[in-house]
Amino acid sequence: MEKLHDSLLDGLTEAQIRLVSEVAEALRQKVDATIADDNDICTKEFVHSFQNRLVLYHTLNEQSLTKKTFEISFARSMRDCARNRAR
């Protein structure tokens, strides 16, 4: 297991550290995405946020993504983009 930043792991159990490592490894995987040039919603920033959320969901869950979970992930990704633009 690769060494993670110590302060991030302070106070976590071995089981929690394994889970954090599993999530980090999943986020390192390459995901192919195509964004249409004329798309106002799916900016690169949005796509990265949304695909990270989808990767996390599928890393932690074995069931299919529901419509509600999709909508929540979509909305949170949109909020992330809005927050980053406000900075």
Q: Tell me the C-alpha distance between 87 and 82, whole Å.
A: 9
Q: Are 44 and 3 in a shared domain? A: no
Q: Tell me the C-alpha distance between 64 and 47, whole Å.
A: 20
Across the range 13-35, mean pLDDT stands at: 92
Number of domains in the chain: 2
Q: Tell me the C-alpha distance between 4 and 63, whole Å.
A: 29
With 0.75 as the threshold, say if the pTM is over it. yes
Comparing 1 with 3, the larger pLDDT belongs to 3
Q: Are 36 and 58 in a shared domain? A: yes
Across the range 37-44, mean pLDDT stands at: 79
Residues 6+ apart with CB under 8 A from 9: 17, 20
Q: Are 25 and 36 in a shared domain? A: no
Residues 6+ apart with CB under 8 A from 22: 59
Q: Are 13 and 47 in a shared domain? A: no
**pLDDT higher than threshold 80 for residue 83:** no
Residue 78 has which token pair? 């949109």
> What per-residue confidence (pLDDT) applies to 4?
53
Q: Are 83 and 67 in a shared domain? A: yes
